[in-house]
Structure 1
């Protein structure tokens, strides 16, 4: 069980939503970042971080005095702050918007994207009104009842282990591990394993990957680092035997989170992911989009923006940066044809090896493993560019990690003089900062879409088309 809380309780009115899964409230002039509330509500909160000299405090809602019309019963007891507060425990993280109606979630996420782009990106309100009139889009609007409710979408889920060896998850910003008895956001294939019934003593972390195509589940087991090698090996083998006895036994591998090394115990150490036109091997904890529909939604949006703008003609030279296992690289290779070229850059050595296997038949693809800014700053070894000359691109797909691309990458990318960049972002704040860097270099947003690929959480995925300002229609051209 999670540890009881004894923090002070206050009554506040919840203010506007902010990036990060919380809303802003004030108490006697102090800013408090409140989770599990909705703007306009009157609530009682329990302070979770309240150092006297801190610039702001943090809190969870534990009782609702005046509720928002968008408040609904939380679908997951372990993640419900009201039920957790009643039993003096902490709610599990990972479903911090589960108390908000689906339409309410979309509205709050839209507000966050707009606020970040206005405040950090310097985008004018009028421009956002034009570019972002659709707001954050619901990708599950036409799915099953569960899917429309925002459930059953996660193809990858990470778990912790309680002191008693039971499956659990961490409370937000806490070492407290809350035992769980299901994971409603996960695909059925993950819940069908019923991992909460197993004894994970000696295991510290568990990662489960279940491709949406049903091609087989992979379970990664990381033993407690304080165990001897003999004890760690015994713990992993014991759990692997229990998993092998299941009716739909998954593949199982021992996993080192520090270097992503895996040792296969049962089955294989990779999963097979598919899109409409391609098949991908993803090894161990290699990156793949989490939502079951995300690969199609994001490739359609990013490549669709480039194709509509005429940037992916046959023979074009393009790049896929932070390319992972090749989700965008493969359709880019199709789009530019054998006479074109695709530079695929990925920092992870293991994921880069996956990309080589996945794209070995595409001769127009050049795969480079390393830091994006360094590879962009070197001369190309390919046949399309003379030695010593900086490579130039017609178009680029940029899909950085949550921290964003950053100033150095933006600078190196702009120096390659692409005609357009399709930017796929999973963090509105990092994306907005990068938009500002691009603006300072003479670039502007030409289109903008956002997708709710993380229902019941604060996360949102954004796809934007960036082009040089000089290429945009001028008022006199209209």
Structure 2
């Protein structure tokens, strides 16, 4: 098949798909189109074609616009520009509708579940929310973000979705070309900066500002590695902890597992429910996170920590367990972890997910062991991007 790379097609845009694009068809092939909206008529330039039944492209001209189309607040959120955002050309309410459609489609296709989904907005609006940004320096030492599916660096002078002031100092100076910069603004408004550079094939980190972040959620103050895991949206941690508290219903004196525990946000919620006579096992593979968690929850002796892979740690865990909370990485938990969880025979499972496809696959695994999807909430924790945070209750 002759490559379509660089070819310009006129297409009618169909449904939204997982990943920040919509589906169109041309000459018998599927075209995944960015910078378009369902129902639009657009001209698409093919940007990727590896052969086969589909290719990818950018909408370079809108011939018939959706009523939900708006002017992107960032001039770099265009074809060939920054790859950090997917939906700046859609109104915030419609962005949530698109994400809801993706979650529903993934549940139906991968788990056989028909369910209406609503994606809820978090406090703060669609801009000024991103508290953690990873930048890279281009050949001239200017900090920026990579273009979509590319190593090309797009230099920044500002980022409308970043917390105001967070990037000012980093963007004002020049860096060693190729350096990566991790920037975090914590719950007290302190900015932390770490530079990562490859020297003789090894990545070396240099802390330039801060290092220990302070965050606030679930009625506690947290001190943790500024570049370790914490929710990116300032309102997300407290919101998710609230849903976990509502759905977990861990019994007083009972037992609970917090899997992929991070620094113990959900473990703290479970500990308050089981009380001093109960038990909470927190499992986390990152040893720095475990150390931070042990320090932050030192006043809760009912919480015990284990560093390591979840499926390995659960093999030795005391069973049965009343409630399980898990917040796996983007790839999901997977069959082995699901089987380790159901071996504990929990009454309730609260699953926090940042990828709807991975969530749907794992929900199907749980269903094969008799656990049904009881409830679901979805949150727009990453406005302007295609990402969405979900919380599922299985019982």
- Aligned partner of 2:269 among 315, 331, 335: 331
Q: Could you tell me which residue of structure 1 aligns to residue 320 of structure 2?
A: 392
Partner of 1:343: 281
Native 8 Å contact 1:280 1:326 kept in 2:
no
Q: CA deviation at 1:263?
A: 4.7
Partner of 2:230: 288
Aligned residue number for residue 63 of structure 2:
65
* Equivalent position of 2:28 in the other structure: 29
Contact residue 138 and residue 178 of structure 2 kept, 8 A: no
What is the correspondence of 1:40-439 to structure 2 with a 5 Å cutoff? Answer: 40-51=39-50, 53-81=51-79, 90-123=80-113, 125=114, 128-129=115-116, 132=117, 135-140=118-123, 147-148=124-125, 150-191=126-167, 193-202=168-177, 204-214=179-189, 216-225=190-199, 256=204, 262-264=205-207, 266=209, 268-307=210-249, 312-378=250-316, 380=317, 390-439=318-367
Structure-2 residue corresponding to 1:463: 391
Secondary structure, counterpart of 2:111 in structure 1: coil
Q: Which ranges in structure 2 are unaligned for 5 or more consecutive residues?
A: none
Task: Report the secondary structure of 2:277's partner residue.
Answer: coil
Structure 2 Cα separation of the partners of residues 189 and 208 of structure 1: 11
- Please say if residues 203 and 221 of structure 1, whose CA atoms lie closer than 8 Å, have aligned partners that are also in contact: no
User: 3-state DSSP class of the match of 2:258?
Assistant: strand
TM-score w.r.t. the length of structure 2 is 0.95
Distance 2:82 2:100 in 1: 25
2:20 and 2:199 map into 1 onto residues whose CA distance is 31
| 1:358/1:203 CA distance change after superposition, 3 Å | farther
Residue in structure 2 matched with residue 442 of structure 1 by the alignment: 370
Cα distance in 2 for residues equivalent to 1:21 and 1:399: 23
- Give how far 1:224 is off: 3.9
Deviations, residues 377-410 of structure 1 (Å, cap 9, x unaligned): 11x4xxxxxxxxx422111111101000000000
CA RMSD of aligned residues (A): 1.7
Which structure has more strand as a fraction of its residues?
2
Task: Return the alpha-carbon distance in structure 1 between the equivalents of residues 199 and 73 of structure 2.
Answer: 34
SS across alignment from 1:57: strand
Which protein has the bigger helix share?
1
Partner SS state of residue 190, structure 1: coil
Query: 1:332-382, CA deviations, whole angstroms, 9 ceiling, x for partnerless residues?
Result: 21221111111000011221121112112211111000000111111x4xx
Maintained 8 Å contact 2:194/2:206: no
Say if 1:158 and 1:206, in contact at 8 Å, map to a contact too: yes
Q: Scaled by the length of structure 1, what TM-score is found?
A: 0.79
Contact 2:16 2:38 in 1 (8 A): yes
Question: In the TM superposition, what is the alpha-carbon distance from 1:313 to its structure 2 partner?
Answer: 2.3
List gaps (5 residues or longer) in structure 1.
1-5, 82-89, 141-146, 230-254, 257-261, 381-389, 468-478
Per-residue deviation, 1:59: 0.6
Q: Cα deviation per residue 1:313-345 (whole Å; 9 max; x = unaligned)?
A: 221101100000111111221221111111000
Counterpart Cα distance in 1 of 2:354 and 2:44: 29
- Distance in 2 (CA, whole Å) between partners of 1:368 and 1:462 is 26
Q: What is the total number of aligned residue pairs between the two structures? A: 391
In the TM superposition, residue 194 of structure 1 has moved relative to its aligned partner by: 4.0
